[in-house]
Every structure is written in C-alpha cells, then in structure tokens.
Chain A
Amino acid sequence: MPQASRVLVASRNFANDATFEIKKCDLHRLEEGPPVTTVLTREDGLKYYRMMQTVRRMELKADQLYKQKIIRGFCHLCDGQEACCVGLEAGINPTDHLITAYRAHGFTFTRGLSVRAILAELTGRRGGCAKGKGGSMHMYAKNFYGGNGIVGAQVPLGAGIALACKYNGKDEICLTLYGDGAANQGQIFEAYNMAALWKLPCIFICENNRYGMGTSVERAAASTDYYKRGDFIPGLRVDGMDILCVREATRFAAAYCRAGKGPILMELQTYRYHGHSMSDPGVSYRTREEIQEVRSKSDPIMLLKDRMVNSNLASVEELKEIDVDVRKEIEDAAQFATADPEPPLEELGYHIYCSDPPFEVRGANQWIKFKSIS
C-alpha cells in the first residue's frame, strides 16, 4: 500500500470500542446465561481479525500443500470454524489449559505456536513443532495437550487436566473439546459423571459442525441437543460463527468453573467448509448450496469485518493490509515448511522414554539398531 494512504489511515479517527448485540444462548439447567451485549475494543477486534485470518489462510495453504503431496496422511482442516478457536482463546487466560481432537491446527496456533512450526510439522520436517514425529494430529504446546487421534479419548484426558487444576489450587480451568460425532462416545459420559461428582473445573465444549465425517447429526444422535447431553451438567448453546458470542459464552463458562461450581458444557454451532479431511470432498453428504449459504451469510471473518467497519473500529483498507501481511506470513511459513529437511534418520528411536539414559531400539531387523535418547 502506498505510503501516502498509509499516513491517511493512521491519522483517521477510529472509535476506541463499540458495543454489539449478540445472540442469546439457549440454556440448560442455568437460570442466567452470558450477556446479550458485549464491548469490543479496536485493539481486540484487530487482534481477533488477524488471528482468524491467519488460521483461515494457514488451513487453505495446508489444503494446497496436501494436493501437492507435500503433506501426507491425515489432514483435517477447520476453515469456517475460526470463531471457535479464536473466540475460546479470547475468553480464557494463557495459564488455562486446552485439549481437543484431530481438527487441531487452529487451536495449535491460538495456543501459541507459530504457523511455521505448524506447517513444518504437517510437512514432516525437523522444524515442525513435534520435530516431524507427530504430524497433523499430534501437536503440543504449553498448556495445550494436542491434537488427539482417537475420537473421544481426549475428553477424559481433559477432565484429568481439570482434576490437576483443582488439585493444584491455582484457579486454572481446562477446556475439553470434542465434535458432534464424538459426542456419542461412552467415555465422554464417564467423564461427565466424574467431572460433576468431583466438581472439576472443566468446560466440556462440543464443536458441532453438523457432520461427523459423512454422517449428519440427525443420523447419529437420538438427541442433537448436544448442550443438554451432559444431563446434570448445565449447558449453553452458542452461535459458533460469531466470535463475540463465543468469547462471552467462554467468559461466562470460565467464571462458572472458577467459582468452584463444577463442570459446564458449551455447544458451539459452527461449520466446516472442507470435508471431514483432505480425503473427503465433503459434497456427497451435503449440498454445495448449503456450503455456499454458510459462506455468504455466516462466515466468521466476514461477520467480524462487517461489524468493525460499520462501527468505525477499523477501515476496509486497514483490514486489507492485515490480509496482505497474513498472506506473507503464511507464504514464508510454507516456504520454510517445504524447504526444511526431514528429521535425521538417527533420531527415529529418540523419545521413547523420558528421563532415561540412552539405550538401543530395534529396527526392521536385528542388525538395524537405533539409538534412543530422551
């Protein structure tokens, strides 16, 4: 953008903040819910916009790299669901904890890892956040426990992290995410029971994007009111395409947990543009019209942009500048992820055990040995 117009943008007067109305959440076993209005500061708005745009472009880049066969195996993208990962992060502290399933790239970013480290992990290079050992579904960061491949298994894990929060007495909480497909897993109900029994500071969050792989919610669940499925656990159903709605609901739920009242359940109604994974075109079980309708009416980035521009929190040009910046960041990260070498073969046996002296790991036959260090 030319220097002159940049100066113009900088000197224009934007509002510091604006108040927005947000959708009222459906409540289960709750007398009151989150507020129906919220204040968004210009600073926060720009931050959320940038973060959502980064997740969006990162996922689209991953799509590209997958089609070029530079990313292999499983690749589950979350474009369309940006308001969830960014909105949840906006409602908690960095010292809180979060765990999710395999559609995890967005959360890996919002929990603090760089696009570089994420893309390089997807391409299986040594600069990846798990040094190429984990791949798409196994990325970890501080207070972020992945990235879990077994549907539903992350939910008891999250309840356990919440148990540790309570045990340590530091007012931290754990956000435990799962999808509409996972919501029918038995172990989730076991986790609900123990979390409620022991009043664990756990927010169970169902990211309902209407389809568990190729199965629509109506075909999978006798009750699609996922926010009520916790039964004795209070719940709220949230517009997961509106980042402000997600943020307010998260703040509400976090306060509930921190007050020692036990677990609470949030259903985020959201949508994924891609199929279940890169192996799924995503149009055999839903119509292109449906996808297009969500894109044009409910896209989370568009919703935030419109709000900000219409309330004079930001200008169209300014947001375009951010887009350009983000594109560059993603491009640089993709360059790195493509050029970085694969992990050295010598490290194949590393990280079997923690805190142990080095030992030998068997390879494909008895003469092939790999050194294993912690």
Chain B
Amino acid sequence: MTLRDPCPVCVPSERPLSLSLSLSLSLCLSPRQVSGLLRRRFHRTAPAALQVTVREAINQGMDEELERDEKVFLLGEEVAQYDGAYKVSRGLWKKYGDKRIIDTPISEMGFAGIAVGAAMAGLRPICEFMTFNFSMQAIDQVINSAAKTYYMSAGFQSVPIVFRGPNGASAGVAAQHSQCFAAWYGHCPGLKVVSPWSSEDAKGLIKSAIRDNNPVVVLENELMYGVPFELPPEAQSKDFLIPIGKAKIERQGTHVTIVSHSRPVSHCLEAATVLSKEGIECEVINMRTIRPMDIETIEASVMKTNHLVTVEGGWPQFGVGAEICARIMEGPAFNFLDAPVVRVTGADVPMPYAKVLEDNSVPQVKDIIFAIKKALNM
C-alpha cells in the first residue's frame, strides 16, 4: 500500500517493499494501524523515495492530469473496461467513467481524427495507440491534421493533443509489431516527440505532454512498463513536470559520451558499469525528448569527453543517431571529437521472430561496449 488511497495499479507480483510495511516492521505496529496513521497524518507530506514501475508512473501521471483538468480525456482500444491492453490505464475507467475514458472500435484513422477534432474544439485528448505500429494507419491525422495546423492557421488553431503508446521492439512479436517510430515522428515540424526511459521520465513527461498546448507524441516502451524505479520525493508531487526538450545526464563520465533514449538507456548504463571496471568512465545521456532535440547537452558533453556513441533501438538509416551525427558536425563540438561518432542501432532488417535472431537485431550490452571501445580506438 502506498501513501495515497489504495493504489489500484499495484500489480501483486511487482509489489515493492512499501514504506508502510517497512514502517510497521520498525515500529511494531500492525499494517492496518500504520496505514491509518499514514492516511491521517502523512497524506500530503512529501514521502521518502518510492519504488514505482513505469506503468504505474504513467497511470499516476494520467490520473493526476484527469483530476486536475476536466477537459482531459483518454480514448483508445481497450483503455476503459479492459484497463488497458498493457494495463497502463488500470482503474481510470472505474474512477472517471465513460465520459472521460472511452473505448474505441478498431479504427485508428477514425479515432485519431476524432481525437484531433476534439482537441481543435478545445478538449485535451490523450489518444492511445495500442502500439505505435498501428499509428501508421492514422499517421495522416497525426501529421497533416495535428502537427501542421497551428502553422497553417498562422497561430489561430491549436491542437492540444497527446498521442501515446508503446513503441519499438518488444519480445517475440515479430516484424509488424516491433518498429520504432522515433525517426518518423521526429522528422516533423510542429510535433513534439518524447521518449521516456525511467518512471520519473514517464510520469514527468506524460504530465508535461498533457499540459502542453501542442501535439505531443509519447513513445513508451512495453518492456519497460514492468520495471520499477525509485521515484524521488519531488517526482511524487502532483505538479511534478519534466520539461520537454531537455536531456538528462544519467551518469557522469569523462572518457566518452553515450547518448540514448528509451529502453537502451538501461543497456548503456550496464555497459558503463562494466567499462568502469576497466577504467573507462562513460557519460550516459538520456535524451528524454526526440524533438525538439537537446543538442546542447550532447555538445557540452562531447566537448568534455571528445568521443561520442549513439545508441537506439530503431533502424540505422535516417535515424536518431544519424541526426545527432549531422548536428554534431554542424556545431562547436565537431572540433572536439577525437574520433568519428559511432552509432549503435537496431539491425537493418524487419524484426525476425526466432529468439537468437531477435536478440541480435537489437543493440545488446556487448554491442555497446564494442562500439565504445572502437570509438576510443581500443
């Protein structure tokens, strides 16, 4: 049990060691006595750091924004009565009802257009794609109806909409269900595109996206949904926001800059831990936002480390890493590079099914380590 009223999102198999449980153990009170205490006296006090999964974080973020602004609503397939195909919207329909949490038929182009129209008329929809692979059916509405409208209307018509859902590779779902759309959406002016990695990212970015008056694409990751992270006290506030367009340095380092987004950030940190034992200190940057890209943070880091490796799950051609390379070449950091930028990406194939093939179609820790050593000419 957490400090709010019983969290409807807690998945039994993932229940963390809660504050109340640890309190009850240390104070020799029954859990019931402790929860009563906590509810009465600690309801609004900033708690210590909390273990929260990415799924729970997105759920909390949406819940808080639904509560805060009645113009916010969620629509998509299975988001209401099924609690979400990946249980990300668990409990929301029960709390907010049919008006605010809407199950749609399988009609991506139709319901994405409906969501955009509702945004044009002043509501603040969250449009869920069960995966971003299905967003291709609706991509015209995202780009031509949502992204471009503020510009075409010379600032008259805004489109405050969020498109969210899992993006990129999952596990064993094969080619049609594994594509990364960061490069596709990141290409378009008028859109904002974010790619959370941790629970803190997920919560802060979904809240910022919902409050943003622009169309924002939130690229989540299915394999990260169940991963718990420590949520620091400031991230537990109902007004906790992460600014869109700002990267975060997850790990300080001096020898090489590693830039990544979404799940591969985990692999980068793992690689950094391994390399640290060999005396190589990696600075790991979590992009958090694809567009507008925070190239300044990357440049400042490269000017310090003189080496750059980009890591992404998507295909190499015309990808996020390719864009970073181009921008580094155009900017002040180029003269600080001691070696060409190295890219680590998904393999340039449609995602295969067999495990051995799939494993080798996405960046693994060993691939990142190898690339870093190549960049360092080792």
Q: Could you tell me which A residues sit within 8 Å of B by CB distance?
A: 97, 99, 130-134, 138, 140, 145-146, 148-150, 153, 155-165, 167-168, 174, 186-187, 190-191, 193-194, 197-198, 350-356, 359, 361, 366, 374
Contacts and interface: CB of A to CB of B under 8 A. Distances in A.
8 contacts: A130-B152, A130-B153, A156-B117, A194-B111, A350-B155, A351-B150, A354-B150, A366-B330
A198 B104 CA distance: 10
Contact of A157 (B117, B122, B192, B330): B117
A133 to B, nearest CB: 4
Interface pairs A-B: 6 shortest CB-CB: A160-B117, A156-B113, A190-B110, A164-B121, A157-B117, A160-B114
B156 A140 contact: yes
Contacts of A359: 292
Given A157-B116, A361-B189, 5 more contacts: A130-B154, A153-B145, A156-B113, A157-B141, A197-B105
Q: Among the interface residues B120, B122, B152, B214, which one has the most CB atoms of the partner chain A within 10 A?
A: B152
Interface string B78-118: 00000000000000000000010010110101111111111
A351 B120 contact: no
A153 B140 contact: yes
B273 interface: no
Contacts of A131: 154
Contact of A167 (B73, B213, B330): B73
A130 B189 CA distance: 18
B144 A153 contact: yes
Given A156-B141, A167-B73, A190 B153 contact: no
A99 B145 CA distance: 12
B25 to A, nearest CB: 48
A130 B154 CA distance: 5
A263 to B, nearest CB: 12
Contact of B114 (A140, A168, A191, A356): A191
Nearest to B118: A160
Contacts of A153: 113, 140-141, 144-145
A283 B160 CA distance: 44
B109 A190 contact: yes
Contact of B158 (A157, A160, A190, A354): A354
B165 interface: no
A350 B189 CA distance: 11
B117 A133 contact: no
Nearest to A134: B152
A351 B154 contact: yes
B112 A156 contact: yes
B121 A160 contact: yes
A148 B156 contact: no
B120 A161 contact: yes
B113 A164 contact: no
Contacts of A146: 153, 157
B322 interface: no
B106 to A, nearest CB: 9
A133 B214 contact: no
Nearest to B120: A145
A178 to B, nearest CB: 12
A161 B118 contact: yes
A295 to B, nearest CB: 34
Q: Among the interface residues B111, B144, B151, which one has the most CB atoms of the partner chain A within 10 A?
A: B151
Q: Among the interface residues B73, B99, B117, B123, which one has the most CB atoms of the partner chain A within 10 A?
A: B117
Nearest to A373: B155
B38 to A, nearest CB: 37
B297 to A, nearest CB: 15
B166 interface: no
Contact of A164 (B109, B123, B140, B212): B123
B198 to A, nearest CB: 25
Contacts of A164: 117-118, 121-123
B214 A187 contact: no
A59 B6 CA distance: 64
A354 B192 CA distance: 11
B160 to A, nearest CB: 8
A374 B105 CA distance: 36
Nearest to A163: B118
A302 B73 CA distance: 49
B189 A150 contact: no
Q: Among the interface residues A146, A160, A350, which one has the most CB atoms of the partner chain B within 10 A?
A: A160
Given A150-B144, A156-B111, A194-B105, A374 B117 contact: no
Contacts of A148: 145
Contacts of B153: 130, 133-134, 138, 140, 146, 351
A213 B155 CA distance: 31
A92 to B, nearest CB: 15
B196 interface: no
A165 B154 contact: no
Contacts of A352: 150-151, 189-190
Contacts of A351: 150-151, 153-155
Contact of A190 (B107, B115, B121, B152): B107
B158 A191 contact: no
Interface in B143-195: 144-145, 150-158, 160, 189-190, 192
A303 B120 CA distance: 37
